[in-house]
Structure 1
């Protein structure tokens, strides 16, 4: 399965129930592009097998190794596409990830610095803005 925007591999993942409201269209399965970092929903009618433990390191080695925090970071990247529209959800998701023991802002910064990714948005600037309203 490949991204329709940059033709790079997609990583499909199940959205943890606790993070369902942060998923695109509140879908139970989403994908993240390994290059442009677009996060999209994956319709259940799509017959794509989701790995029991998706390999988010295909996107970046900076992703957490545990599945739930990695999915949360992926969803946060998707929400960064529109900070104004997603501010409340981003604040809540960042807080949830921190309570679970993940440093989401540091992880997002490291993903942003990974030379293999080319985000479709100015992720560096958005992370700076995210830091301002989260803390």
Structure 2
């Protein structure tokens, strides 16, 4: 699956049942673009968890933090709409031992990440959610 916005190959992943409530739509998975960070539903996600560090080395490697972090990043474009979901996902990332604000900080200056989302501004807003 390629990103419809920038034509980069997206990272598709299955979303565990306990996280599907935080995913827009009814699909069993999602895909995130490692370049523009767009999140899309995935109808047929792979069983294997992708290496989210393909986005950037700052991304968590373990799926317990990587999947909710990918959902957070993908929902950042609609922070006002998905405020509750993002807040709950941030807590999951922290419980998995990862600082989600540090990930967003590093993504904001990461080579290869070209998003329309103001990650620095979103980081300040996320700080208020924690």
TM-score after normalising by structure 2 = 0.90
Do residues 57 (structure 1) and 53 (structure 2) align?
A: yes
Name the count of aligned residue pairs.
Answer: 130
Once the two structures are TM-superposed, the CA of residue 29 in structure 1 deviates from its matched residue by 0.8
- In structure 2, C-alpha distance between the alignment counterparts of 1:118 and 1:53, rounded to whole Å: 23
Which structure 2 residues correspond to residues 1-135 of structure 1 after superposition, within 5 A? 1-44=1-44, 50=46, 52-131=48-127, 133-135=128-130
- In structure 2, C-alpha distance between the alignment counterparts of 1:37 and 1:79, rounded to whole Å: 9
Once the two structures are TM-superposed, the CA of residue 34 in structure 1 deviates from its matched residue by 1.2
- TM-align CA RMSD: 1.6
- In structure 2, C-alpha distance between the alignment counterparts of 1:105 and 1:16, rounded to whole Å: 23
Once the two structures are TM-superposed, the CA of residue 112 in structure 1 deviates from its matched residue by 1.9
Please say if residues 36 and 119 of structure 1, whose CA atoms lie closer than 8 Å, have aligned partners that are also in contact.
Answer: yes
Which runs of 5 or more structure 1 residues have no equivalent in the other structure?
none
Please say if residues 24 and 39 of structure 1, whose CA atoms lie closer than 8 Å, have aligned partners that are also in contact.
Answer: no
- In structure 2, C-alpha distance between the alignment counterparts of 1:114 and 1:85, rounded to whole Å: 26
Decide which structure has greater helix share.
Answer: 1
